[in-house]
Amino acid sequence: MTTAIYPGSFDPFHNGHLDIVLRASRIFEQVVVAVAENPGKSPWFDLKTRTALCEASVGHLPGVRVTGSRGLTVAFARAQGAQVILRGLRAVLDFDYEVQMAMMNRHLDREMETFFLLTSNRYSYLSSSLIKQLVDVDAPVEDLVPEPVHRHLMALSRHRT
Ligand code: PNS
């Protein structure tokens, strides 16, 4: 059984991430969405919230599992029985960073393969950072994120006003 781990900050999970999970679930028997603690990034949402929002967005899909992760991705991937690290690629902008990360992961674990899926055109401009910028100025994000994430973002906006 081929298991792919899909690691990321998911701060928050958006429709571009959803697109990758849906398409990967048609390729791999199991997809594990690994929500990274990633302390270097000072996320908007804590690990528990980010994991819960991913779970609410994709946890019901067959062959998809969501979990929080800490530490090295390759070690976590092995512990989950994964053979593949899955990453979405939007544009040339992502390329350098993603290749560097894939090579570092291969240096850390020779047998762990990185698998890139090109983001569908209609989501190629999406990023969690841009979504947070929109939320910050109360601009609509309904079409950009799964419904559970949207509900959470709206509750957050109401709380601030
Ligand atoms: O969504 P992001 O922030 O681009 O995801 C980056 C992530 C979490 C996949 C990456 O930072 C990561 O794997 N962090 C865990 C620590 C690690 O394994 N570092 C070595 C990989 S270069």
Whether 5 and 77 have beta carbons less than 8 Å apart is answered as yes
User: What's the pLDDT at 161?
Assistant: 62
Q: How far away, in angstroms, is 123 Cα from ligand 1 center?
A: 21
Q: Does the annotation count 9 as an active-site position?
A: no
Domain boundaries, the chain: 3-160
The string of pLDDT tens digits covering residues 23-48 is: 999 999 999 999 999 778 889 999 99
User: Which helix H or strand E contains 53, and what residues bound it?
Assistant: helix 47-58
What does CATH list as the number for 3-160? 3.40.50.620
CA nearest to 81, candidates 31, 20, 46, 119: 31
Q: Can you tell me the distance from the alpha carbon of 15 to that of 128, in angstroms, rounded to the nearest whole number?
A: 10
Binding site membership of 127 for ligand 1 (Cβ less than 6 Å)? no
Q: Full-prediction pTM beyond 0.75?
A: yes
The string of pLDDT tens digits covering residues 102-157 is: 999 999 999 999 999 999 999 999 999 999 999 999 999 999 999 999 999 998 87
Binding site membership of 128 for ligand 1 (Cβ less than 6 Å)? no
Ligand 1 atom closest to Cα of residue 101: 22
The separation between CA 20 and the C-alpha centre of its own chain, rounded to angstroms, equals 9
User: What's the pLDDT at 116?
Assistant: 97
